[in-house]
Structure 1
Amino acid sequence: MTSLWFERAWIGNRWEKGVRLRIADGRIASVETGAVEEAGDERHRVALPGLCNVHSHGFQRGMAGLSERRSRPDDNFWSWREIMYRFLDRLTPDDVAAITAQAYAEMLETGFTRVGEFHYLHHDPAGAAYADPAEMAGAIARASAATGIGLTLLPVFYAHGNFGAAPPSAGQRRFLNDIDGFAKLLDAARPKLSGDANIGVAPHSLRAVTPDELEALLDMSPVGPVHIHAAEQEKEVADCVAWSGARPVEWLLGNAGVDARWCLIHSTHLAEHEVSRLAASGAVAGLCPVTEANLGDGIFPAIDYLAAGGRFGVGTDSNILVDAAQELRALEYSQRLAHRARALLAGEEAPFVGANLFARALDGGAQALGVPAGLAVGHAADIVSLDLDHPSFAGSDDATLLDRWIFAARAGAIDSVWRAGVKRVEKGRHVDAEAIAATYRACIARLLA
């Protein structure tokens, strides 16, 4: 049994002093508060529960920074997507494992301890299924095992190029399945998971799945997370209205039985009535503010959504920049830019923005990935330790500590990270960072040669 003692720890969405966590078999065996440090304790200053990254495309870490050149006057999400399609054309399972491991190590270093991998790259470069239909899912599982991050695998069903079962493009050939093929993929993926990894299902979007296929997917996976891209782009909304007479989130809420096991990724473009209905559904909005800014997606209506009781988690999506605090910071800053005001994602009962954002992202992210949230007996020992000797924390008290981390700290604010009780990050670096990075560099050099 491992014993960790902290000066303070975030327990039940508030700070407790003198906290001892005893860990056995990867889980928290006991939580003591008001405890005095004892011989045998490993001592640290501040403990936070690790955050869940609700939305990642691991392989896209390899193209970060490669799409920032203007290629046409109307550069937007759709032109970026063509660059992404060209990048993935050459990827092998080993490439995906190497690139994804780099992303996962960076996630752990910045405070994410579990990731929801929205995994849609299934087939070989010609678009043919591998002999093992879950070959690529196995690459994701290898990356998780190599880094130690917790995994919620979200195999993606993708069958069409646009609403109304439009034919897919050539660039989408590596994603495509019919229902029977996807069922085989899902069955083949489950044995590749280990530890406390879990699995859900991810209809890619209403562009890529018909209503009948969506119903079949839900029958195929009656429990566990359900994730779907929704209303990321204005063109998507317009195309959905032309197809169905309803907006994407409106259609899902009215036809798909959206409830607490659903996570609607982005939901950037919501009408007023959709905001309140999505909040009331119990589903989680999966927000990826850094990627949404990078792609020019738009700004999620977070103020109204939270006022209506909505739940959210954050994700790194394209992995253009992997940083948990940056996602939370970008969410608040997007609201400030849109409304030209400050401290918007706080309230009378939670006046400090950082603490409010962290608490909500912690709870919503765990719900979206189907795991319990926080540092509590029986939960996975997923712990993030802040380094209070970091200059950004000078003079911090309980009220301002999370604000200092999210809004003012740069690299080095995180000291250690434990995932399932194993220390994966020490002195701010993943314990296998050099080996992971060396494999990643060799992979990218070959791909871009």
Structure 2
Amino acid sequence: MGTPALWAPQAWLPARGWVDGVLLTPGRDGCWQAVQAGVAQPPEAATVLPGPVLPGLVNAHSHAFQRAFAGLAERREAAQDDFWGWRDRMYAVANRISPAQLQAVASQLYAELLQGGYTQVLEFHYLHHQPDGRPYPEPLAMAQALAAAAQATGIGLTLLPVLYQRAGFAQPALRPDQCRFATTPAGVTAMREGIRAWGLPGVTAGVAIHSLRAAEPDAITALVQGCAGDAGPIHIHIAEQTAEVSDCLAATGRRPIEWLARHVALDARWQLVHATHATPAEMDAVAAAGAGVVICPSTEANLGDGILDLPGWLARHTITSIGSDSHVARHWPHELRALETSQRLALRQRNVAAAPEQGQPATAARLFNHSLAGGAAAAGFAAWGLVPGARADLLVLDGAAPGLLGVPVSQALDGLVFAADAPAFRQVWVAGQCRVRDGRHVQAAALAEGFVGAMQALWA
């Protein structure tokens, strides 16, 4: 017997926003079979949801192992600190974490992401081998740990095995503390196919290139050729740091996005992660190709990356999604607020992302709708949200949460993004199953115990 129909007093529907009385019927396949608006009263057999309903969002960029490092790099002993100093300290956990510890850390993270309103996570996965660089007896051991965490918590997972070959444009080999990242184009596509062969529900796969500095041009070409005819997503870190842009110019004579657009046939499969430092011409090239941009506001702020040109990307109708990346924040309203407030600080304006001239005066709604569509594109999903054929995911708002109490439903999304200072989801459903009740994952206590054990072993 399948999950009974769910009735919401209000729900956020495509192109309509808040709609009263929505009946949502999951099918046996875990996808929405029907979405019917204007149902004033819940049918007798329906489950009545205890608040307004939003679709879940895709977290389009994650390094799960970095959850074990969140909050542990906020001191400075040298004259200054930057991304590169943070990266070297981050390698301390990257080079110690075992498959069992990764599973425990990822399980805690994925529960927190569900509590924060994400129902799908895209893992930019480069911890492939043992710390000394030797393959595990089971070559996909680390990917299996992530998949096991996703299965245990109920979140959807897209694994993106990463091409990683060198330490920098002028460093043709990996550093000793990067040897467990080593891959080849053939190895990456083999991992993708191996993950797909598992046939796990809710687990999909694409590929990723760590960055232009970490992959040889010929290898990038070979990987792209290996993806010919495959619909899976292709992700790449790009133009995150000004030093990266300078190094790319010195090595190739072109800026990172400019180089990429000239050397590969960008299309809708491509997702450019960060793209913080992009010129108008580079932005034009990305938009013309139909590629997407993945923005990670909390991490980009934490690492001092800089502020991207959000109005420029929006003006070009580029599909943008959000990710929590290093997981210093783990709920999407925080990311959307940080994205908008960074623009306000830089431009000394308010409601930068709103577009009243396009009939979109609400900042939160425009950002949310972009993230909804962008997340689907980043994961390679044809359907996403509260529509027939999409996976049966939803979020139930807690109307009594700080920032939402007393706010009219018509402006609940505004309150959620700009006034709620903690996750405000009473329930979270994935594939027709309730995974979060009363704001906590249904297995929160057991997952936390495993996480604490892993943290103690990592940092003792």
Shorter-normalised TM range: over 0.9
The alignment partner of 1:434 has SS state of helix
**Matched residue, 1:19:** 22
1:100 partnered with 2:106: yes
Per the alignment, do residues 340 and 24 of structure 1 end up closer, same or farther by CA in structure 2, a change over 3 Å counting?
same
Q: Which letter does structure 2 place at the counterpart of 1:360?
A: H
In structure 2, what is the Cα distance between the partners aligned to 1:345 and 1:421? 33
Structure 2: distance between partners of 1:410 and 1:42: 29
The aligned residue for residue 286 of structure 1 is 294
**d(CA) in 2 for partners of 1:4, 1:179:** 45
1:29 to 22, 33, 45: 33
**Which structure 2 residues correspond to residues 42-441 of structure 1 after superposition, within 5 A?**
42-44=47-49, 45-163=51-169, 166-222=172-228, 223=230, 224-348=232-356, 349-371=359-381, 372-411=383-422, 413-441=424-452
Task: Say which SS state the counterpart of residue 305 (structure 2) adopts.
Answer: coil
What is the distance in 1 between the residues matched to 2:303 and 2:353? Answer: 23
Partner of 1:208, secondary structure, is: coil
- Which residue identity lines up with residue 440 of structure 1 in the other structure? F
What is the CA RMSD across the aligned residues, in angstroms?
A: 1.4
The one-character-per-residue Cα deviations of 1:255-297 (angstroms, maximum 9, x if unpaired) are 1111111110000011122122222221111000000000000
Shift of 1:184: 3.8
Structure 1 distance, partners of 2:448, 2:418, is 28
What secondary structure is seen at the aligned counterpart in 1 of 2:325? Answer: coil
Amino acid paired to 1:10 = W
* Residue 38 of structure 1: aligned partner: 43
CA distance in 1, matches of 2:85, 2:341: 26
Give the letter aligned to residue 219 of structure 1: Q
User: For residues 325 and 129 of structure 1, what CA distance do their matches in structure 2 show?
Assistant: 39
> Deviation string for 1:210-264 (max 9, x for gaps)?
2211111122223210000000000100111111111001111111111111110
Report the counterpart of residue 10 of structure 1 in structure 2: 12
In structure 1, distance between residues paired with 2:171 and 2:95: 23
Deviates further, 232-241 or 394-403: 394-403
Letter in 2 for 1:53: N
Q: Hey, what's the Cα distance between the residues in 2 that align with 1:158 and 1:130?
A: 17
Amino acid at match of 1:27: C
Say if 1:43 and 1:410 are closer, same or farther in 2 by CA, change over 3 A.
Answer: farther
**CA–CA separation in structure 2 for the residues paired with 1:193 and 1:60:** 27
Q: What is the alpha-carbon distance in structure 2 between the residues aligned to residue 129 and residue 276 of structure 1?
A: 41
- Looking at structure 2, the residues matched to 412 and 267 of structure 1 have their Cα atoms a distance apart, in angstroms, of 27
Cα-to-partner distance string for 1:286-317 (whole Å, 9 max, x where unaligned): 00000000000001110111012111000000
What percentage of residue pairs aligned between the two structures are identical? Answer: 43
Distance 2:284 2:111 in 1: 37
Counterparts of 2:424 and 2:451, CA distance in 1: 25
- Give the Å deviation of 1:391: 4.4
Distance 1:446 1:6 in 2: 44
Q: Distance in 1 between matches of 2:370 and 2:334?
A: 15
Query: What SS does structure 2 have at the residue aligned with 1:447?
Result: helix
Unaligned runs of 5+ in 1: none
Residue type of the alignment partner of 2:265: G
Query: Any idea what the Cα deviations from partners look like across 1:300-352, whole Å, max 9, x if unmatched?
Result: 11011101211100000001121111011100011001101110001011111
Using the alignment, how far apart are the partners of 1:97 and 1:151 within structure 2? 13
Question: What amino acid does structure 2 have at the position aligned with 1:285?
Answer: V
Which segment is superposed worse, 434-443 or 211-220? 211-220
Q: 1:290, 1:330 within 8 Å by CA — same for their partners in 2?
A: yes
Q: The residue matched to 1:20 in structure 2 has which SS? A: strand
- Residues 2-36 of structure 1: CA deviation (Å, up to 9, x unaligned): 21111111111422110010112211111111102
String of CA shifts for 1:141-178, please: whole Å, max 9, x gaps.
01110111001110001011112662211111110123
- The CA distance in 1 between the partners of 2:110 and 2:375, in whole Å, is 16
Structure 1 residue 125: Cα displacement: 1.3
Helix, strand or coil: the match of 1:22?
strand
Contact 1:4–1:42 (8 Å) recurs in 2? yes
8 A contact 1:416–1:423 mirrored in 2:
yes
Per-residue deviation, residues 165-204 of structure 1 (Å, max 9, x unmatched):
6221111111012334434433433334511321100011
Q: Quick one: which amino acid aligns to residue 274 of structure 2?
A: H
Q: Is the 8 Å Cα contact of residues 116 and 423 (structure 2) preserved in structure 1?
A: no
Q: Deviations over 1:352-408 (max 9, x none)?
A: 111111001000111111112211111100101101233422443354211100111
**Structure 1 residues 193 and 440, CA, compared in 2 at 3 Å: closer, same or farther?**
farther
Q: Matched residue pairs, number?
A: 449
Cα distance in 1 between the residues matched to 2:342 and 2:158? 28
1:64-119 C-alpha deviation (Å, 9 max, x unpaired): 11111103123100010101111222111011111111111111001100001000
> Letter of the aligned partner of 2:412 in structure 1?
L
CA distance in 2, matches of 1:47, 1:183: 38
Deviation, 1:412, is: 5.1
